[in-house]
Structure formats: C-alpha cells, structure tokens
C-alpha cells in the first residue's frame, strides 16, 4: 500500500564538553560520556515518557573496549531507559553521529519510529583512530586507495595542493577566527546550554568537573601559529594550529515525527529537508562536503544561495575553505560557524555531527530571518556528508501561518 512520508524534526541536542586526548577524560569511560548525554536529553524533556523512545543509535569509529558491545543498546540500558527500548551501533568514521541521525530520521519519515535518540562518542585518548584495524592489503597493492589516504593529515596537505590559492596563511587566519569566535561564544553564554557537565576523576588529582571544551586556546594569533611544525610534509601547510586535535567527547540528539513532537509537547527546533553522502578520492577526503552538498541541495530543489546558515566541521581549515571557495563564499562570511568550530572545540570523530546540528539549531533561534541551513563534514576514506535543515522560527513561515 502507498505510504506517506512524515516530517522529521530535531527536538534537542546536547554534548559533553570536549576534552584533549589523555586530558580531562583520561580516566573516564567512553560509554559513560554518552550515557550522560542520553540522561540529560531525558531530563531536559520531561514530557517525553521514556518508553516512547523507539530506538537509540550511537556511533563510534573505533568500536572496541568501552566503545564496543553494541553501544547504542548498552548505553540506553545504562542511561535508565526501559529494557523495551532497542539500540544499535553505527560507524561512518567522522560522520558517525550524522549518519545515526539520518538513518533514524529515515525510519521516522517511513513510520517505523516516532521518537529516537541518535548520537556518537569517541575516546581518542583511549582508542586512537585505527586501533585494532586490519586493512585488506589489496586496498593498497591494487591501488584502490592511495596509501596517503590512511593519514588524515596527508589528505589535508593533498587538498591544499588541489586548491593552491588556499595558503597556510589563509588556513591560519581561519583558525585564529575559529578560536576567537568560540571564546566569544563562551563569553556570551551561547555554548553552555549545549553542554552536560561531566564528573571526572584522576588517580593523582582526585575528582573534578568538566564544564568547558578543553582544546580552546584563547588569545591565538597569527604569530603564535606561524612557527608551528608541519608534521605531515616538510614546509607543508597543515599544523596543529589550523586543524582539529585528538579529542574525547560524546553527543546525543532527540528526533521525532513532527505530529508526535506536538502531541508530547516537545520543542521543534529544526525540520529535516534533505541529506546526502558522497564519495571522493580517499587521498583528498576533505573535498567530500562539496559533492555531498551539491547532492543534498539538488534533492531539496535548492541552491547554495538559499542557505542562510552553515555549520561545517573544521577537521582542517583547508577543508572548510575548499567548500567556501567552491561556492564563492568569503573566508570570513558571518553565516559560517558563528560560534567557532572543531579547530577550537575539538573533533571527537563520530560525535561531531550532532554538535554541528545543535549549534545550527541555536543559530536558527537567534536568526528567524534564516530559512535554510546546512551541516556538513568530510569523512575518512574519501566521503562527505551534508544535511539540510529548515528553521521553524523563520519569519516568512510565521507570516504564512498567521495570514
């Protein structure tokens, strides 16, 4: 029988403060980080009966140890959700949480779910990227993948080669702005509502409380970045200053069918418009957001000129700048990452997609004139992902509803 698709809405999103690898979460379990996020979502949305959650999808890139054992299910149980609530694990490397959202959102649109929790976690201090993997040797020997594709820093240097106008100076300038915007966002209280404080412990220092992102470097200047080493290439352009670090953290989002959200009195912060994932040459994986964005825009019947707000993951400055250059958008366009990004906050791989969405929802609330926004990121092994959202606070939409 024919089925009618339903509207999918973003209800809420939270995250832990992000930490440096072997930093504030060195002695904290990965699953405990995402459990905190799930519990916080339920606490913030008391009108949602726990038994109404139909699925919990949690992503991790390195699914071993405390990030293994079908973490969506085990985290749901440990968070106190009823045993009737199922869960699963998902992996699309950096776009893990983004894929957890799009996968479960498709289930909502189809009618399989009414309410879901989707998110991600990465404890890179405990589980470095690539730990325990055994790549098939044919992927290299048969030249399916360039060996440089297995080093994210090398892929960023390769992207600089593809876009020679994106110099190290431009990348550093972008990084300085990212740090400054994040510091300003904290000073203005913009980011704190997204964060779940996390109790931390250290055998040496005792108990503590993580309340802010550990990687933020206030006072970053062009001069302080100029002398940093280029570890991936002699006289290269990628440094620790214009790239995201190695980080720990978790995120979780609450999604629902719009009618169910209204029935339960849940907030509607964004509507899903379209999404797309695309592949590119793995050795220039940072270019992935470009075809993914083209694809998502085409599916939505939109152009880049329709997008009023951007949240682009800053795995590397060059990755964001290549997308902006492709579309003729200025490096310092105010619509792009207004609260800063991963260069300042950190990028715990599979968790970052929901951070982008949570920040976009905040931008939508602050900018009712913005109708459409996108979240986009590059993905290891040569992919990109983009999700396009509509602002329910859009003034034109409100005018239509009241006319």
Contact between 251 and 97 under an 8 Å Cβ cutoff? The reply is yes
SS (H, E, C) 44-90: HCCCCCHHHCCEEEEECCCCCHHHCCCHHHHHHHHCCCCCCCCEEEE
Residue 250's Cβ-side half-sphere holds a number of Cα atoms within 13 Å equal to 33
Catalytic-role residue among 37, 94, 127, 194: 94
Catalytic-role residue among 123, 127, 160, 347: 347
Q: Which of 98, 1, 100, 122 is nearest to 55 (CA)?
A: 100
Mark whether 94 is an active-site residue: yes
Segment 293-301 long-range contacts (CB within 8 Å, at least 24 positions apart): 293/323, 293/374, 293/376, 293/384, 293/386, 295/386, 296/374, 296/386, 296/387, 296/388, 297/388, 299/274, 299/275, 300/273, 300/274, 300/372, 300/388
Angstrom distance (rounded) from CA 18 to CA 210: 9
Q: What is the largest CA-CA distance in the chain?
A: 65
Mark whether 160 is an active-site residue: no
Residues forming the active site: 94, 347, 378
């Amino acid at each position: 029988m024919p089925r009618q698709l339903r509207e999918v809405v973003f209800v809420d999103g939270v995250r832990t403060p992000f930490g440096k690898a072997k930093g504030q979460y060195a002695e904290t379990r990965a699953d405990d980080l995402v459990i905190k996020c799930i519990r916080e979502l339920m606490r913030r949305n008391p009108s949602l009966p726990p038994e109404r959650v139909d699925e919990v999808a949690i992503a991790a890139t390195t699914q071993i140890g405390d990030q293994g054992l079908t973490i969506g299910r085990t985290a749901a149980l440990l968070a106190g959700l009823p045993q009737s609530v199922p869960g699963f694990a998902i992996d699309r490397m950096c776009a893990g949480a983004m894929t957890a959202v799009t996968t479960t959102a498709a289930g909502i649109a189809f009618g399989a779910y009414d309410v879901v929790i989707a998110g991600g976690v990465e404890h890179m201090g405990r589980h470095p990227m690539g730990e325990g993997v055994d790549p098939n040797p044919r992927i290299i020997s048969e030249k399916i993948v360039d060996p440089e594709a297995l080093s994210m820093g090398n892929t960023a240097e390769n992207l600089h080669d593809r876009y020679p106008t994106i110099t190290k100076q431009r990348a550093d300038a972008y990084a300085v702005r990212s740090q400054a915007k994040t510091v300003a966002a904290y000073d203005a209280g913009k980011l704190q509502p997204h964060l779940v404080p996390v109790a931390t412990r250290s055998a040496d220092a005792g108990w503590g409380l993580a309340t802010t992102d550990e990687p933020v470097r206030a006072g970053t200047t062009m001069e302080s970045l100029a002398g940093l080493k280029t570890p991936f290439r002699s006289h290269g352009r990628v440094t620790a200053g214009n790239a995201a670090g190695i980080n720990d953290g978790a995120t979780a989002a609450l999604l629902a069918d719009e009618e169910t959200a209204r029935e339960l009195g849940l907030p509607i912060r964004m509507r899903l418009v379209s999404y797309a994932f695309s592949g590119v040459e793995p050795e220039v994986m940072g270019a992935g957001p470009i075809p993914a964005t083209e694809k998502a825009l085409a599916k939505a019947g939109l152009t880049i000129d329709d997008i009023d707000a951007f949240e682009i993951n800053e795995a590397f400055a060059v990755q964001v700048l290549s997308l902006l250059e492709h579309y003729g958008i200025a490096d310092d366009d105010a619509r792009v990452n207004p609260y800063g990004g991963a260069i300042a906050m950190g990028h715990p791989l599979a968790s970052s997609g929901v951070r982008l969405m949570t920040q976009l929802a905040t931008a939508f609330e602050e900018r009712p004139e913005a109708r459409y926004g996108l979240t986009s990121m590059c993905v290891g092994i040569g992919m990109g992902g983009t999700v396009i959202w509509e602002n329910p606070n859009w003034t034109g939409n409100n005018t239509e509803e009241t006319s």
